[in-house]
Structure 1
Amino acid sequence: MADVRAVTAALAGALALLLSAPVPATPAAAAPVAHTRAGALRGSAHEGYRVFEGVPYAAAPVGALRWAAPRPPAAWPGIRDARRPASACPQPAGEVPGGSTDEDCLYLNVTTPSNAAPGRPKPVIVWLHGGGFTSGAGSSYDAHRLAVGGDVVVVSVNYRLGALGFLARAKLPGSGTFGLADQQAALRYVRDDIGAFGGDPTRVTLAGESAGGYGVCAQLSSPSATGLFRRAIIESGPCAGGPARPFAPFALAPSAAEASGSELTAAVGCGKAADVLGCLRRVPVPKLLAAQGADQEPEYGTALLPRDPADAVAFGRAARVDVLIGANHDEGTAWAAGIMAAGVSVTPATWPDVVRDFGPDPARAPEVVRAYPLRGAEGGPVFGALIGDADYACPTLRTGALLAAHQRVWRYEFADPDAPRPTPAPPPFPLGATHTTELPYLFDLGGRPREMAERQHRLAATMIGYWTRFARSGDPNGDGAPHWSRSAVQSLAPGRTGPVRPEPGHHCALWATMP
C-alpha cells in the first residue's frame, strides 16, 4: 500500500494544473509602477488589468535562513522589474515543468483591475496554491478573470514546500511550520503594502485549494495569523482531516512529524553529525528532494500551530471570520484512477480487500462494502466515491457545520460532471467533478484558459461573482445570481446552481462513526 500511496500522492501534485508554463498576455498600455516600502516595482499592463510578478515579500531562505523564520526582504534602488514570475520553490518535476531547485523563491504576484489605485482601494484575495505541500507555484494561477470580473485585487503566493517548508525537529524554532510562516509573512506584506497596488488591507480574504485550502485551515487555527485576514475561502481542503484519511491534507502530531524529520536527516547523511542542523543546511537541494516524502504535512503542537486544526474547529478555537467552504462532487475519482493505474484491481471479487487496504478502519470494511456496493465491472467510480466521501465530502460538511456554530459560513459543492479534466491523458473512466476541476472556472491555469461550453462559461462567471462578492462583503449573494442560503449547500453546476440537501448524495452518517 505504501508504494501505491506514493503514486497517488505524486498524481495529486500533478492534478492541480496541466503541465504548462504561464503564457504572458500581450501588453496593452504603458507599464505601471507601484511604490512599495522596499522600493518601486514596474509591472505589465494588459487589456483591463495589470500584473506585478516576482514581488519579494521575504528574504531568500538560504544558508543560515534555511529552516528559519522568514525575514523581510532587502530594499532596492530605482525601479525593480516585476514583469515575469520568480522561481517556484524547490520541488520535483511535475506541476512545474522540470521542477525547481532554487531556494530564492519567496515571492508573490499581484493582479489588479486597470482602475485600481491607492485612493480607490479594492478588496483583496490572497491565494494559496495546492500540491500536497510539495509542489505548485503562485505564478501558475492567472487571476485576471477574478480580478476583472469581480473588481478585486488578487495576490498569489509562493511558500516553502516539502522538507524545506515542513522539516520537523525537536528544539528547532519553527519546526514543521516554515511554509505556514511564509504564508503569514505574505499576509503581513499585504497588510503593509497592498495599498500601493490599489488593494484594501482591511478587506483581505485568504483563499486556497487542496493543500492551500488546508493552509487556510491552519491560519484560522494560528494565533500569529490573528487580524491578518478578514474572510476565508477553503476549496477541497477540509480542516477535519487526519492520518486515517490521508488522501486529503492534515497536520501531524510532534512525535510523528519529528520521526519523519529524523528519517530524512538520516537519509541525507546528517543523522550522526556533530552539528545536525549545520549539516542539513549544507545538503544540496536535489538530495533533499530525493529524500523527502511524496507528500508533506505541517506539524501542530508548535508556537505557530498550537492545536491540530481539526481540534481547533471542533472546539470553537478557530478565528471568527466569515468562511466560504466546499468540495467537489467526485473528489476521489482522480485518486481511484491513479491507484488502478498503479496495478490495483477493483472488481466485485477484489472489492472487500481494496476497502480494507484503503478505508480508514479495516475492521469495518464489511459496512463500507455494503454502503458502496460494487456489482458491475466498472469499479473506478465506486472506489472514487468511497475516497471522495471519506476524505473530502464528509469532512468538508463536518468542518462547515462546526464553523457555522460560531460564525457565518457559506457551503458549496462543485458538481459539473463534464468539467475540463485535470490532466492531459484520457482517464480510464469518467472522472466527473474530481479534485481540482473547479479551478479553471476561477483561473486560467498555466496562463491558458480551458475549453468550456457556453453553459460552463456562465457557471464560471457565477462562481467568480460569488467568490468576489464574498470577498467584498462576506455575503456571496447579489447581482442576480441564484440565491445562496447559509442553511443549505449550494450546488454549483451548469444550469443547476442552487441549494441541495446538506448531505448531497454522500454517506456521511457512516463516516462520522469512523476515526
Structure 2
Amino acid sequence: MSKKARCATAATVAVAATLGGTVAAGSATAAPADPTRVTTVEGPVRGAISGDVRTFQGIPYASPPVDDLRWKSPRPVTPWSAPLDARQPRSACPQPSDQPIAVPGTNGEDCLYLNVTTPAKAAKRLPVIVWIHGGSFVYGDGATYKAAKLATRGKAVVVTINYRLGAFGFLSHPGLRAPANLGLQDQQAALRWVRRNAAAFGGDARNVTIMGQSGGGYSVCAQLASPGARGLFAKAIVQSAGCAGKDGSMSVKQAHDNGIATAKALRCDDVAGADACLRRAKTGDLVKATAAGHEGYRPVVDGTVLPLAPARALATGRFHRVPVLHGSTHDEMSGLVGAEEAMTGKPLTAEGYAAKVEKAFGADAAAVLSEYPAGSHGSPGATLAAVLTDSEWSTAALDTQRALARHVPVYAYDFADADAPYFKGFPRPKSFSLGTGHMIDLAYLFENDLFEPLNERQAGLSDTVISYWSRFAHTGRPGGHGTPAWQRFTPRDAYVQKLASGKDGIGRTDFAADHHYTFWKSLQR
C-alpha cells in the first residue's frame, strides 16, 4: 500500500473513532430504509404511507389470464426489476353491473391483483389475514375493502385479493377444455404469493388466516376441503356462509347445465365446437351472458380441486384441521325483505306474509305459520325476515359449528347489533328495524364506501370485533386483552357469542332457541 493510501486509511479510522462509529461498510452514511419500498420475490414494489398505515395496491400475483390464458390455471408472473408503482388499485375482475356490490367499468380480464395493508411502523412476524371478498362468485373485488383499522388496531398484515368471477372463474361446460374452479385456484395462487412474500411486509408466512364473507365465506369452506390449499393457512374465519347443509357448492351436472345456458346466450350451441366458440367471445359479451344474480356460479365438486363438497368433507373429517371462527348476522335476510317495502312504499300485511310463506315452504307452510305468527317479531315484514334468516342461514350456521367442533377448535358468534348502519343511500323500511343484515357486519371490520359511517356506539363495537378477529389471527383464540370472555364452542357446550353494542351487548346467547333451530331441523327429517 502506498504512503498516501495508508494516510487516507488512517484518517478514515480516526474519523470513525471520533464519531463513535465503526468502519463497517456504509455504517456512517447509510440512509434509513424506505418503508414505502418492499422487495418481493417477483420484484420491488413502491407503496404509500398515510398516518399510521402503509399500503401497497395492485400487486400482480399471477400472470394476466388473457388471450391464450383465458380459462387456464393461474400462471406465475414475469419478474420485474424496476420498482412497481403500487400506490393505486388495479382493475377488478369482469362482472355484471346490476347489483349494488358490483364494481363498475371492469371489462378487462387482466385482474389478478392483490393489496397489502400494514401498520406504518416497521414490525416483524405479524399475523397475516387474507380477505376473500364475497359477491356470489359474480361480483366484487379486493380493493373495495380498505383495511386500515384492521391492520393497525389488529397489528396484522391484511391482504385483500381479486379472483376470477362468473363465467371467467367458475364456468363449466362439457365442451370447454378447461379446468374447473379457476376462481378457487386463483385464491390458492394468491395464498402461495403470501407464503413467498409475507416476511417482506412484516408478516409471518407460518401464521396466515383466511377470512371471507358470503361468497368469500363459501370460498373458505371450499379451501378447507381443497387439497391444493394444504399448508397455505393456519386458521380460518367464515362469515355468513354455511360449510354444512347448503354449503355453496354444486355438482358437475348443475355446473354443466349453467354452462350450457351461458354458451347458448353466446350462440355457442354446438357442444363439440363450444371450446373454440367460447374462446372467441369478447369479454363484454361474456359478461352479458354471465348468469347475473346469486345462483349461477359456485365452486364445483370436480373431484380434483374440490374432491368433496364441503359439507361432506366436514361430515367425514376430511378437511384441513385448523381453528375456525364462524358465525352469521342475526338478521341475514332483513335487507331483502326491507328493500321490497322500501321500493313499494307498502309494508307487508299479515295476508301477504302468509302468502309468501306458503309459496316458499309449500306443504310445511302451516307449521311455519304456527311457529312464526305474523306479529311474533313486531310486524309481518320483520317476521318474514326472521323466517328466511333462520331457515336459510342460522340453521346452516349451527350445523357447521357442530360439524367442525368434532374435529377442530371452533369459536361461534351471532352478530346482532339492533341498530346497525346500512348501505349508504338506500332507504330503510318503516315498519321494522333491519338490525344487522347480510354484509352489514363488514361495516365494523373494513372502511368500505358501501356503508353508512359508524356512529360512536357502533365504532366502539367495531373496536371490540376487530380485537376479537385479530386476536384469533394471532393466537387461534378470540378472547383476551381486556375484551369480554369468549368461550370455545364444543360438542357438549354450544357456546355462541352475541356481538352487539350497548350494555350486555356482548356475551353468551342461546342461538338455537333464538333462531328456532329445533323446529327447522324437524322439517328436514
Given the two structures, how large is their TM-score scaled by the length of structure 1? 0.88
Distance in 1 between residues matched to 2:341 and 2:180, nearest whole Å: 32
Give the CA deviation at 1:451.
2.8
- After superposition, the C-alpha distances for 1:39-92 in whole angstroms (9 at most, x for unaligned) are 100001111121000010011111121111111111112111000001010012
Match of 2:516 in 1: 507
AA of the residue aligned to 1:452? L
- Cα deviation, 1:339-364, whole Å, max 9, x if unaligned, reads 556779843223333123334xx221
**Equivalent position of 1:391 in the other structure:** 392
Q: Does 1:104 align with 2:97?
A: no
Which position in structure 2 is the counterpart of 1:494? 501
Matched, 1:461 2:467: no
Letter in 1 for 2:190: A
**Separation in structure 1 between the aligned mates of residue 179 and residue 258 of structure 2, nearest angstrom:** 12
Q: Which amino acid aligns with 1:373?
A: P
> Which secondary structure does the structure 1 equivalent of 2:168 belong to?
helix
| Stretches of structure 1 lacking an aligned partner (at least 5 in a row) | 1-28, 243-248
* Whole-angstrom CA distance in 2 between matches of 1:99 and 1:420: 27
Whichever residue aligns with residue 493 of structure 1, its letter is A
Which residue does the alignment assign to 1:246? none
Query: Cα distance 1:385–1:297, how it changes in 2: closer, same or farther (>3 A)?
Result: same
Query: Conserved in 1, the CA contact under 8 Å of 2:175 and 2:274?
Result: no
**2:120 maps to which residue?**
114
For 1:114 and 1:74, the matched residues in 2 are separated by: 29
Report sequence identity in percent.
42
SS at match of 2:90: coil
1:220 is aligned to 2:218: no
| Residues 415 and 318 of structure 1: CA distance in aligned 2, closer, same or farther (over 3 Å) | same
Question: How do residues 98-497 of structure 1 correspond to structure 2 at under 5 angstroms?
Answer: 98-117=104-123, 120-170=124-174, 175-242=179-246, 250-272=248-270, 275-293=273-291, 294-295=293-294, 296-339=297-340, 346-359=348-361, 362-375=362-375, 378-428=379-429, 429-446=432-449, 450-487=452-489, 488-495=495-502, 496-497=505-506
Counting only pairs closer than 5 Å after superposition, residues 4-23 of structure 1 correspond to structure 2 as none
Shift of 1:301: 3.2
CA contact (8 A) 1:175 1:299 kept: no
Mapped to 1, the partners of 2:413 and 2:226 lie a distance apart of 25
CA distance in 2, matches of 1:53, 1:199: 16
SS of residue in 2 equivalent to 1:349: helix
Deviation for aligned residue 1:375:
4.2
For 1:433, give the aligned amino acid: T
Alpha-carbon distance between aligned partners in 2 of 1:37 and 1:282, rounded to the nearest angstrom: 35
- 2:103/2:139 contact within 8 Å kept: no
Match of 1:26 in 2: none
Letter of the structure 2 residue corresponding to residue 40 of structure 1 = P
Does the 8 A contact of 1:273 with 1:279 survive in 2? no
Which AA in structure 2 matches 1:131?
Answer: G
The answer on whether the counterparts of 2:353 and 2:381 sit within 8 Å (CA) in structure 1 is: no
- CA drift of 1:369 comes to 1.4
8 Å CA contact 1:68, 1:173 repeated in 2: no
Q: CA deviation at 1:130?
A: 0.9
**TM-score where L is the length of structure 2:** 0.86
Aligned length: 476
Residues 205 and 233 in structure 1, CA contact (< 8 A), matched pair in contact too: yes
Q: Unpaired segments of 5 or more residues in structure 2?
A: 1-32, 490-494
Which secondary structure state, in structure 1, belongs to the residue aligned with residue 143 of structure 2?
helix
Code of the aligned partner of 1:240: A
Look at both structures and tell me which one has the larger radius of gyration over its CA atoms: 2
The whole-number CA distance in structure 2 between the counterparts of 1:315 and 1:171 is 33
Q: Matches of 1:386 and 1:133 in 2, distance apart? A: 25
Q: Relative to structure 1, is the Cα distance of residues 84 and 40 closer, same or farther in structure 2, using a 3 angstrom cutoff?
A: same
Following superposition, the deviation at residue 379 of structure 1 comes to 2.1
Q: State the 1:173 CA deviation.
A: 6.3
Instruction: Name the Cα RMSD after superposition.
Output: 2.1
Greater shift in the superposed pair: 252-261 or 280-289: 280-289
- List aligned pairs for 1:32-71, cutoff 5 A: 32-71=36-75
Deviation at 1:234, TM superposition (A): 0.4
Which residue number corresponds to residue 25 of structure 1? none
What amino acid does structure 1 have at the position aligned with 2:248? F
Question: Cα offset for 1:457?
Answer: 1.5
Q: Specify which structure has the bigger relative contact order, considering alpha-carbon pairs within 8 angstroms and separated by 6 or more residues.
A: 1
Q: Who is 1:90 aligned against?
A: 94
Distance 1:502 1:381, change over 3 A: closer
Distance 2:209 2:515 in 1: 29
**Cα distance 1:511–1:110, how it changes in 2: closer, same or farther (>3 A)?**
same
How far apart are the structure 1 equivalents of 2:188 and 2:275? Answer: 24
